[in-house]
Amino acid sequence: MPGTQKHVACPLCGGRDERAMTAYAKDHLVCCASCGFVHSERIPAASELEAFYGRYPRTEAISPITLERYDEWLQRFGRWRSTGNIIDVGAGNGYFAERAKLNGWKSYATEYEALAVAICKSKGIETHQGGLDTAGYADGMFDVICSIEVVEHLSDPAAEIRQFNRILRKGGLVYVTTPNLRSLSHLYHGAKWSVFNYPEHLGYFTPRTLRSLFERNGFKLHSLRTTGISADRFFESRSESPMVTDEHIRRRIEGNPLGRVAKKVANTLLDLSKRGDTIKAEFVKV
């Protein structure tokens, strides 16, 4: 029967005291008593993943505001530039990798879905289909690894981070984002939070468990913030059609000086309390 394989130990720390979270039974969630990592006890079969991701939505358009954020990231990543190589793990349609290429980086990408791989390749990005197979990359090849909303999809995130360690040069940077289990949105919605979605999401991180994941596998924390409250996630969790989407809100804020100030204040408060919807972290290979 698909999906009947289960973790016998915590995939983050190896602890064997895994406690069932009964309110989250539909997503098979357990919490490690040793490190606090919340994850799916069930490991989805390949057939489950193929069926799910075969109907995964992909958008053709991207917000100009998002492209501006990418340029800001790339400007910040410049201080880690040595080889000039950057890889986007789980690149989608390759928007970030393409932006990196336009900014003078040698861009690489990985992606599961065949159409997305074809789109990335059409943009001149060297792209591997499937998971991160480090056999195709030399030790210490990359200055920067980007992992945007990917780590929550993995049954064995520690194995992925060990691969990051091998292909990243010493002193290189990993930039990672993932939903925040400590967010106000989860606090409000509980088990109905739209992020809970087996087999799409298999691990749920807090700032503490994300830091632990990297520090156990050869990295040190450079920076970590939690930001934002997603209107899309809020309305989706309530099973309502959103009248106002994240993109509408972003455009209104970015076009208004007072809105930008209010956003900065809100994100500062969300970061101080570590209650923002998204964890955004940078880790350096030691």
* Mean pLDDT, residues 16-28: 97
Across the beta sheet with 203-204, the strand order is 18-20, 29-32, 38-40, 203-204
Q: What are the pLDDT digits (tens) for 50-109? A: 888 777 766 667 888 899 999 999 999 999 999 999 999 999 999 999 999 999 999 999
Do the beta carbons of residue 126 and residue 107 sit within 8 Å? yes
In percent, the amount of the chain with pLDDT more than 90 equals 72
* Mean pLDDT, residues 275-280: 95
Contacts of 62 (CB under 8 A, 6+ apart): 93, 95
Assigned fold of 63-285: Rossmann fold (3.40.50)
Per-residue pLDDT at 50: 81
pTM of this structure? 0.88
Q: What are the pLDDT digits (tens) for 182-217? A: 999 999 999 999 999 999 999 999 999 999 999 999
Do the beta carbons of residue 133 and residue 106 sit within 8 Å? no
Please state the domain extents for the chain.
63-285
